[in-house]
Amino acid sequence: MRQIGYQLFYRATGRLAERGEVARPQEQGKQKGAGEDGAALPVTFSFLNQEVTFDSPTAIDWNYAANGKLWTYNLNYFEFLQGMNPDDGLALLRSWLAGAASHKDGWEPYPTSLRLVSWIRFFVETGLSMPVDVADALEAQYRTLWRKIEFHLGGNHLLENAIALSYTAAFLNDQDGQLKAWELLASELEEQYLPDGAHFELSGMYHLVLLDRLLTLWHGLQTFPAPAASPKKAALLQNSLERQLGWLQAFATPAGRYAHFNDSTDGIAPDVAATLNRARKLGLLPIATKLKESGYRRWATDHLDVWIDAAAIGPAYIPGHAHADNLTFVLDLNEVPCIVDPAISTYEKNARRAWERSSEAHNTVTIGGQNSSDVWGGFRVGKRAQTTIFEEKPYLLSAGHNGYGFPVRRTWQLTDQQLTISDALPKGKEGIARLHFDHRCYLNLKNDHLVVNDQLRISWSAGTTRLLPYEQATGWNHLEPAQLLEVTFTDLLKTEITYLC
C-alpha cells in the first residue's frame, strides 16, 4: 500500500449518526517533505465544529476525550470513510485495528453499530476487496454487538443496533443472524414510529438521521446477494420508510426548513431534499400524511410558516432528548428563520445544556422561573407536564398543559397575514411569555409593539416588555448572539404577529 503523500483532512459537520462530509485539500498537492521519503503527514479530524490534528494515521488517539464523549464517538463512527480514497481509508482502518483492544468508547454498542455500517459501505462503494484482517475484525465487532444490544436504553440507540445487525448479517450472509435481527428491527419499527410516521423521540433531527440509516439498510437488502427477509418483512420496512418520508414532507417546508423542537440543531442531519431524492432513487415514495399523533403542527401561508408543539414530552421510558418546551412554536418569514427555537449546542452535562432544555429557552410561558417539566442531568426528566389539545380546526389550535400544578392554556390562530396567540392563566397568576429571534433579525422596539426586519409587527395586549440578549445555537459548539422579547403579564395575554409587506 502506498504511503499517504499529502496531509489528510477529514471534516465531519458534526452528524451524530450520519456520514461526515469528506473534504481533503487535494488541490494543495504534497506537503513539503512528504511523498518522496514516504513520510506520512498529520491527519486532522473535524467533528462538532472542533478540530483535532494527529501527527500521522498511526498516531491517532482513538480514545481522544478532550472534546467530550460525543466527539470521541464521532471519531469511532468512521463515517468519514464515504468518498475516501481506498488506500487512505485502509490506513485509518488499520490504525484503529492496531490498538483495538485498548479502545474504550469505540467498543460501546452505539459507535460499534455505526462503524459496522461505515466499514461495509466503504468496501461496497469502493469495490475494494476486504482484507482478511479487516473481515475478521468486522465479524468480531458484529459478534460483540449481539452481546451488547442496548435494550436498557431503547429508543434510537436500540434502533441503530437493529439496523447495524440487519445490515451486517445480510452482508455476511448470516442467515440465522438475519432472522433474529429482522425480528428486533420489526419490533422497534412498530414501537418507535407513531401512526403519522414520526419517530417517537419527537426530534426532527433524529427522525432524519434514522431515516437516512434505514435507507442505507433498504439499499443493502436490495444489493447483498442472499438477504433472508421475507416479502412480508420487506413490505413492513417499505411501509415504515414511506410513512417516515410522509411525515418528513409534512413537517419540513419545500425548502427543507423544519423546527428544532427537542434535541435538534443545524449541521447534524442530512439535507431534507437530498433524503427525499435518495429515497425516490431507491423506489420509495412518501405516503401523504397529516401531522397528528406526534403533536406537532405546521401551518403555511404565502409569507408565514408556523410550527406548533402541542406534543407530549416523548416516550415515557426514554425522554432523554426531550425539552421542557410544552406549547412552544417557531415562525419563518418568507422562508427565512425569524422566531426560532434556540436549538442545542452540546450534550455535555453543564449549565448550557440545562438552559437549552429549559422552558425559559423556548417560545412559551414560564411561571415563577420554573420548568414545565423537570429536566435535569443532561438526559433525565422527572415530573412531566401533560399536554392536552382542547380544540382544533384549520389554522386554529387550542391546547394546555398542567406542568405548573394548574392549567396553562394557549390558542394559536393563523390568517393570511397574522398569527394571533392567546395565553390564559388562572386568575391572579403571573407569567412570562418569551419570543427568541434569529440572530440575523433586526429588531426595533417601540412603546407598544416590536418591528422585525421592517416586515413583521408584534404587539401585545398587556404587560411589561423588555429585549434581552441570548445565545442561539447554530450548530454544535457554535453560538451566535441574538435577542429575545420578554412579556410579563397577569391572567391573560394576546399577542398579534402581523406581516406588513
DSSP 94-147: HHHHHTGGG-SGGGSHHHHHHHHHHHHHHHHHH-PPPPHHHHHHHHHHHHHHHH
User: Residue 477: left (phi > 0), alpha (psi -120 to 50), or beta?
Assistant: left
Please tell me whether residue 428 adopts helix, strand or coil conformation.
Answer: coil
In the chain, the number of structural domains is: 1
Interatomic CA distance for residues 220 and 125, integer angstroms = 11
Nearest Cα residue to 113 out of 83, 76, 86 = 76
- Which is more confident, 183 or 22? 183
Residue 72 identity: T
Domain annotation covers residue 435: yes
Nearest Cα residue to 477 out of 350, 324, 337, 339 = 350
Domain annotation covers residue 169: no
> Any residues with CB less than 8 A from the CB of 425 and at least 6 apart, and which?
365, 367, 406, 408, 431, 490, 491, 492
- pLDDT at position 1 over 70: no
Nearest Cα residue to 50 out of 260, 342, 267, 269 = 267
The alpha carbon torsion through 116, 121, 126, 130 (nearest 10 deg) reads: 30
Interatomic CA distance for residues 123 and 104, integer angstroms = 25
Domain annotation covers residue 116: no
pLDDT-derived band at 7, boundaries 50, 70, 90: very low
pLDDT of residue 310: 98
User: What are the CA-CA distances from residue 177 to residues 157, 166, 170 (Å)?
Assistant: 19, 8, 8
pLDDT of residue 20: 35
- pLDDT at position 11 over 70: no
Residue 430 identity: E
- pLDDT at position 28 over 70: no
DSSP state of 440: T
Q: Is there a contact between 490 and 423 (Cβ–Cβ < 8 Å)?
A: no
pLDDT, tens digit, 9 for 90 and up, residues 270-321: 999 999 999 999 999 999 999 999 999 999 999 999 999 999 999 989 999 9
Beta strands in 290-335 (DSSP E): 296-300, 304-309, 329-333
- Kindly report each contact of residues 163-166 with a partner whose C-beta sits within 8 Å and lies 24 or more positions away, as own/partner: 163/113, 163/117, 163/213, 163/214, 163/216, 163/217, 164/112, 164/113, 164/114, 164/116, 164/117, 165/113, 166/217, 166/221
Please tell me whether residue 257 adopts helix, strand or coil conformation.
Answer: coil
Interatomic CA distance for residues 368 and 422, integer angstroms = 19
pLDDT, tens digit, 9 for 90 and up, residues 237-267: 999 999 999 999 999 999 999 999 999 999 9
Q: If residue 221 lies in a helix (H) or strand (E), which one and from where to where?
A: helix 204-223
- pLDDT at position 22 over 80: no
- pLDDT at position 464 over 70: yes
Q: Is there a contact between 344 and 362 (Cβ–Cβ < 8 Å)?
A: no
pLDDT, tens digit, 9 for 90 and up, residues 352-367: 999 999 999 999 999 9
CATH code where residue 391 lies: 2.70.98.70
User: What are the CA-CA distances from residue 51 to residues 6, 43, 247, 370, 469 (Å)?
Assistant: 18, 10, 35, 37, 28
Interatomic CA distance for residues 228 and 224, integer angstroms = 10
Interatomic CA distance for residues 74 and 60, integer angstroms = 14
Domain annotation covers residue 133: no
Least confident of 2-6, 71-75, 171-175, 488-492: 2-6
Q: If residue 10 lies in a helix (H) or strand (E), which one and from where to where?
A: strand 8-11
C-alpha cell at 384: 412531566
Q: Across all residues in the chain, what is the average pLDDT?
A: 91
Q: Is there a contact between 471 and 482 (Cβ–Cβ < 8 Å)?
A: yes
Task: Count CA atoms within 13 Å of residue 270 on its CB side.
Answer: 23
Nearest Cα residue to 436 out of 317, 285, 259, 302 = 259
> Any residues with CB less than 8 A from the CB of 251 and at least 6 apart, and which?
198, 204, 207, 258, 259, 291, 294, 296, 298, 307
Residue 408 identity: V
Least confident of 35-39, 298-302, 439-443, 449-453: 35-39
Where does residue 436 rank: exposed (0-12), middle (13-18), buried (19+ CB within 10 A)?
buried
Helical pair 231-251 and 175-192, crossing angle rounded to 10 deg:
40
- pLDDT at position 155 over 80: yes
Domain annotation covers residue 202: no
Q: Which domain holds residue 412?
A: 295-501
Domain annotation covers residue 448: yes
Domain annotation covers residue 104: no
Residue 469 identity: P
pLDDT, tens digit, 9 for 90 and up, residues 57-81: 999 999 999 999 999 999 999 999 9
Domain annotation covers residue 126: no
> Any residues with CB less than 8 A from the CB of 399 and at least 6 apart, and which?
310, 327, 387, 388, 389, 390, 409, 410, 411
Interatomic CA distance for residues 275 and 279, integer angstroms = 6
